[in-house]
Amino acid sequence: HTKPVLFSGMQPSSDSLQLGNYIGALTQWVNMQQSFDAFFCVVNLHAITVPQDPAELAARTRRTAAQYIAAGIDPERSTLFVQSQVSAHTELAWVLNTITGFGEASRMTQFKDKSQKHGADASSVGLFTYPILMAADILLYQTDIVPVGEDQRQHVELTRDLATRFNSRFGDTFVVPEAQIQKGTAKVYDLQNPEAKMSKSAESEAGLIKVLDPANVTRKKIMRAVTDADGEIRYDRENKPGVSNLLTIYSVLTGRMIESIEQEFEGRGYGDLKKALAEVVDETFTPIRERTEELLADPAELDRLLAKGADRANEVATATLDRVYDRIGF
């Protein structure tokens, strides 16, 4: 390899990505694909760890891939693929299952959080072993860098532990990856509940800016965003979370400093800021939405692109898996 390897994935868990996914993940990936040998995976095996509808999952998988491409992931430059099309993921996950301690897996806080939501008995064993599948995803490509949010730090630590353990037990096989925690990137919050992060799995969609929503739907959501009674357009995360969130989004999408936006809107009302923001969001997402629709209108071509990605991913993944099987005596 001449370039370091990057692996990242996203679950096809909704019909549309939300603004946070766009600024916190997609735009970073687009920028990084020049300097890395990048693998971008739609992780549908992870998506079935919670109850899901088959037809919906199939549609969401295509829609997620289409949004990656529409936002600027170049399938000629980077390897874009669907996880279930590379069977080495489940095969390596099994091997890694056998070197993971039960106590070690039990310490994963995301499972604790998620299983509390669904109830321990309603949670699948797949949800429990999710981090081990994620370790397989990463290790198959001899990944150097995994760009993730803070919430995934523990899973990348487990991945490093498993790689190191396998290497010392069976001989050097895996690159031990590094997490690249996206610290500097702005966090955006729900428009209706600006204490909570914007999330595609939020219970209500009223506070979500979705990449694929029609412009008039997004405009309405922005115009109805929660603000405060103080009336001043000023960044103050603690006392004015709603207005601060609108300023953050405006700043990230225009590349302008918050102070300069505060100055522009001095003496004006929240309605003016919201209208301006709706326009900026529209300018950002309309081309992505239109390109996504074009890609979805030709599913055969999209499937061909994804099959090509899976071929390339399979080549690399199979080479790693062959070495693993050889090491463990298969």
Residues marked as catalytic: 114, 197, 200
Stretch that binds ligand ADP, among 19-27, 43-51, 63-71, 226-234 (CB under 6 A): 19-27
* Count of residues of this chain found to bind ligand ADP when the rule CB under 6 A is applied: 16
Stretch that binds ligand ADP, among 198-206, 226-234, 269-277, 316-324 (CB under 6 A): 198-206
Cβ closer to Na ion: 106 or 201?
A: 201
Which residue sits closest to Na ion, CB atoms considered? 201
Per-residue mark of binding to Na ion, 181-210 (x: CB under 5 A): --------------------x---------
Amino acid at 152: Q
Distance, in Å, from the CA atom of 206 to the CA atom of 43, rounded to the nearest integer, reads 26
User: Binding to ligand ADP by residue 207, rule CB under 6 A?
Assistant: no
Tell me how many degrees the CA angle 212-218-223 measures, rounded to the nearest 5.
170
Helix 125-139 to helix 153-170 angle, to the nearest 10 degrees? 70
User: Binding to ligand ADP by residue 201, rule CB under 6 A?
Assistant: yes
User: Binding to Na ion by residue 35, rule CB under 5 A?
Assistant: no
User: Binding to ligand ADP by residue 18, rule CB under 6 A?
Assistant: yes
Amino acid at 294: E
Residue 82 β-bridge partners = 42
Cβ closer to Na ion: 34 or 201?
A: 201
3 state DSSP class of 183: coil
Spatial CB neighbours of 279, under 8 Å, sequence gap ≥ 6: none
Tell me how many degrees the CA angle 257-201-29 measures, rounded to the nearest 5.
50
Choosing from 5, 6, 7, 25, the residue that interacts with ligand ADP (CB under 6 A) is 25
CA dist list (Å): 10 to 26, 112, 233, 237: 10, 20, 35, 28
Cβ closer to ligand ADP: 25 or 95?
A: 25
Cβ closer to ligand ADP: 87 or 116?
A: 116
The entry of Na ion, ligand ADP, none near residue 20 (CB within 5 to 8 angstroms by kind) is: ligand ADP
Burial of residue 204 (CB within 10 Å: 0-12, 13-18, 19+) is exposed
User: Binding to ligand ADP by residue 320, rule CB under 6 A?
Assistant: no
Helix 153-170 to helix 299-328 angle, to the nearest 10 degrees? 40
Interacting residues with ligand ADP (CB under 6 A): 10, 18, 20-21, 23-25, 149, 182, 187-188, 197-201
